[in-house]
Structure 1
Amino acid sequence: MRSSVAVVGPYAADMTVFFYAILFARYPQTRGLFPENLDVQRDRLLRGLLRIVDLVDDRENLVRFCGRLGRDHRKFGAVDGHYPAVGECLLASLARYAGPAWSPKVAAAWRHGYGIVAQVMMHAAEEDARTAPAVWEAEIIAHRYRGHGIAEITVRPDAPYPYTAGQYASMETPWQPKTWRYYSPAHAPRPDNTVTFHVRALPQGRVSQDLVYRAKHGDMVQLGPPDGDMTLDLCSDRDLVCVAGGTGVAPIKALVEEAARTGRERPVEVFLGARTAEELYGLEDMLRMSQRHHWLTVRAAVSHERIAGLEGTLPHVLNEFGPWHWHQAFLSGPASMVKQASAALTRQGIPQEHIQFDPFDVPTLEAALLPRQLREPPQD
């Protein structure tokens, strides 16, 4: 399987175009599962395929990844009957672009491998369907523009939405059907089942632009199942250090609320970063929380403006405090900030397994693997 993927690699973009063309031609009923614009979808197909091939001899992580895919695909309307159609067209696409490298042995390996993936995905979807809906219909009940292209949006799902503080949700809007984007609730679960998200309008983000500038009270959206591993370990005795940039403050705020609900009062230090003081989002909310909880300390860092007591990048400011080697770290925000902060905390002695952050783009495709020491050895 890996050798054939290496062969088709230079033709990957053409192969994914061919795959969707023959899928929709042979099985037109599948077209409704996908967004109108397939440019992003083609990339996701390829990334998912590459990750499956990468995990093909790592059974525990392969099952974990495919199980997440199966549960997530429920929101697209995928059913068991779609899997054979996708497998048929996928293998036909690989055969076309692998050329002479596509031998009967390679074809048999792919049929076997795809069969296992499909079985795991279908089983995970079936198990999930016993306890949860595929999607939650949710009404927007509040929309507050916070400036700088950010809106605070509160929705009321039509059924209890069972997320844990620090997790994220996928959201579909009526203006971009079948196009899902990921946002984190900005609080711990509430008794009234309402959920508030902080959404930044990205320059090329059609979903985020609609949510910030078009959505209003009474509009309906859909939520996919909650997911994510950036949650509190209630059995851990480590203190917490949290680092956030922009709307990445949302899951950090949720984690702080959850920490307050436990009543343990372990020290929590929060660092918020931005380019300028004007862009420093969420600071006032976090400072108000620190006034209610003596164990919470909030600091800010501004990287492109000279302000006494605030100047510096987040990694620079992190280095001024600490030590952090006995802390559990939670990071949320732009990818570059998360990577730099993670490196800074690693240099200060926090083990990698105690630094948590969610994937940057499509969480289902980028979900963290189990630690190496927990993986089963390859099976003969």
Structure 2
Amino acid sequence: MRVFESAGTEAGDGLTRDCLDPLVISRLRASFSSIVSTEHGHHRLTTTFYATLFAEHPEFRSLFPAALDQQSHRLFQALQFVIDNLEDVDRVLGFLGQLGRDHRKYGVEGRHYFASGHALLVAVQSSFTQAIWTPSLTAAWTELLDLLLNTMADAADNDDLPAAWGATVVDHERRLDDLAIVRLETDSPIPYGAGQYLSVQIPQRPRMWRYLSAAIPANPYGQLEFHVRRVSGGWVSPAIVNETQVGDRWLLSSPLGGLEVDRESGQDVLMIGSGTGIAPLRAQVMEMAMRSNNPRVHMFVGGKYPCDLYDIETLWHLSLSNPWLTVVPVSEEDEDPWWHTTPAPEAPPGLHQRLQGQLGRVVARFGSWADRQIQISGSPAMIKTTVYALQGGGTPPELIRHDPLI
């Protein structure tokens, strides 16, 4: 079941899909760009928003985690995604609807969104000097924030799925020193689409939700698999890799994300994944393998060292039994670091040998891929450099899809 869908033909009080005209979009983009380019603009906007919100509604503070750094980052990235995709209103409404459903895990309801509009407008306006802020900017941002908040409120108040699902850890496999594969069984199946990600909370870090991509398609038994790499200095990923045990109880929130293969377009597919970013791509090709007719898929799988291609054998097996799938392994370094002593697996006869180089540049060397649906998944830095390399090689930007970098 694909959960990335529009929030209805209308969003709120008469705000339709095509409500933002090109002039309004231009004003919004220019003003947001000036915030991004200003030193500490990101920090000023989010800090002002939360300070204003909690001053106006002190009771809202209990809905948020004690530390707001992750929350602030996600707020800014969500605004960035909306601003970047204003011409694709269906995509924006789908994204906002997902966020509205996801935020129910905090106890957020529609009324909380309606009460937040003034704080958001104050935060945006505070990023400009009084001389630069104009009535036309006030009108443009008021229109956008009405669309944003009404869509999220409507999604939060009209979803009949649970706000969160319980799940039990049934397996914890340490694939690398800093990478674990965690398998769970949920109390009831979660209706997510292959390619989506979910917000998870673990018992070792209560009230700290993190996004993880499902590495297998949904199934009627509620089985889930996540691939998690330890982030240096992080709070949640080290606990998942180092401390998670069989029997632990996790909470999972509503699915998010829009990565999916459009089977009706007739276009073949290019997938590019690095590290644990292969998870949503892996889930999609596994789901496709259950069907008899599929477009061709070229999947480039990258990492710094050969050992970072930790699941390449699974992908090779999928490729051997599904001739529409071509897997191309890529590593920046030709040899593993000295502390990794397990030999890298050899590609089966007839399959693509490992290439060396920076992932985006390697993919771009094959051409513009202008006839493909393109998905990219990995770290924010990897996605940005890969998009840059593809566009430099002539790839039309409208063909490239990746989820918001939150």
**TM-score, with structure 2 as normaliser:** 0.74
Q: Partners in 1 of 2:151 and 2:108 — Cα distance?
A: 14
Say which structure is richer in helix.
Answer: 1
Q: Is the 8 A contact 1:325 1:348 kept in 2?
A: no
What amino acid maps onto 2:378 in structure 1? G
Q: Which structure 2 segments of 5+ residues have no match?
A: 1-26, 337-345, 347-352
Distance 1:86 1:175, change over 3 A: farther
Distance 1:126 1:351, change over 3 A: same
Q: Is the 8 A contact 1:145 1:152 kept in 2?
A: yes
In structure 2, which of residues 305, 310, 329 is the aligned counterpart of residue 281 of structure 1? 310
Q: Which structure 1 segments of 5+ residues have no match?
A: 363-380
In structure 2, which of residues 151, 155, 171 is the aligned counterpart of residue 124 of structure 1? 155
Deviations 1:14-67 (A, max 9, x none): 564454345445534322211111123234444555666788899766645543
Q: Partners in 2 of 1:4 and 1:315 — Cα distance?
A: 31
Q: Partners in 2 of 1:196 and 1:57 — Cα distance?
A: 35
In structure 2, which of residues 346, 350, 373 is the aligned counterpart of residue 328 of structure 1? 373
Residue 114 of structure 2 is aligned to residue 81 of structure 1: no
Distance 1:175 1:85, change over 3 A: farther
Structure 1 residue 280, shift from structure 2 partner? 2.2
Residue 387 of structure 2 is aligned to residue 338 of structure 1: no
What amino acid maps onto 1:245 in structure 2? S
Deviates more, 1:18-27 or 1:235-244: 18-27
2:116 match: secondary structure: helix
Distance 1:32 1:259, change over 3 A: same
Q: Is the 8 A contact 1:327 1:350 kept in 2?
A: no
Deviates more, 1:30-39 or 1:318-327: 318-327
Structure 1 residue 214, shift from structure 2 partner? 1.2
Residue 192 of structure 2 is aligned to residue 163 of structure 1: yes
Residue 154 of structure 2 is aligned to residue 150 of structure 1: no
Which residue number in structure 1 is paired with residue 22 of structure 2? none
Q: Is the 8 A contact 2:319 2:326 kept in 1?
A: yes
Identity of aligned residues (%): 35
Deviations 1:103-124 (A, max 9, x none): 9998788777655543332112
1:230 match: secondary structure: coil
Which residue number in structure 1 is paired with residue 299 of structure 2? 270
Residue 67 of structure 2 is aligned to residue 37 of structure 1: yes
Which residue number in structure 1 is paired with residue 324 of structure 2? 295
Which residue number in structure 1 is paired with residue 403 of structure 2? 358
Q: Partners in 2 of 1:30 and 1:267 — Cα distance?
A: 49
Deviates more, 1:292-301 or 1:225-234: 292-301
Structure 1 residue 163, shift from structure 2 partner? 1.1
Distance 1:174 1:321, change over 3 A: same
Q: Partners in 2 of 1:175 and 1:7 — Cα distance?
A: 37
**TM-score, with structure 1 as normaliser:** 0.78
Deviations 1:278-329 (A, max 9, x none): 2222111111222322333322222222699534223454356578443333
Which residue number in structure 2 is paired with residue 135 of structure 1? 164
Q: Is the 8 A contact 1:148 1:279 kept in 2?
A: no
Q: Partners in 2 of 1:319 and 1:11 — Cα distance?
A: 34
What amino acid maps onto 1:333 in structure 2? G
Structure 1 residue 216, shift from structure 2 partner? 1.1
Distance 1:99 1:331, change over 3 A: closer
What amino acid maps onto 1:125 in structure 2? A
1:257 match: secondary structure: helix
Structure 1 residue 354, shift from structure 2 partner? 3.3
Q: Partners in 2 of 1:35 and 1:171 — Cα distance?
A: 14
Which residue number in structure 2 is paired with residue 253 of structure 1? 282
Deviations 1:112-170 (A, max 9, x none): 7655543332112222x23x111112221211111131111112222221111111112
Structure 1 residue 349, shift from structure 2 partner? 5.9
What amino acid maps onto 1:264 in structure 2? N
Which residue number in structure 1 is paired with residue 211 of structure 2? 182
Deviations 1:65-124 (A, max 9, x none): 543432232222112332354345455666777685689998788777655543332112
Which residue number in structure 2 is paired with residue 236 of structure 1? 265
What amino acid maps onto 1:77 in structure 2? G
CA RMSD of aligned residues (A): 3.7
Q: Partners in 1 of 2:71 and 2:95 — Cα distance?
A: 18
Deviations 1:160-188 (A, max 9, x none): 21111111112122333333222111122
What amino acid maps onto 1:73 in structure 2? H
Q: Partners in 2 of 1:107 and 1:297 — Cα distance?
A: 51
In structure 2, which of residues 228, 243, 247 is the aligned counterpart of residue 199 of structure 1? 228
Deviates more, 1:285-294 or 1:222-231: 285-294
Deviations 1:318-351 (A, max 9, x none): 3565784433333222344434444555566654
The number of equivalent residue pairs is 359
Structure 1 residue 238, shift from structure 2 partner? 2.6
Which residue number in structure 2 is paired with residue 312 of structure 1? 356
What amino acid maps onto 1:219 in structure 2? D
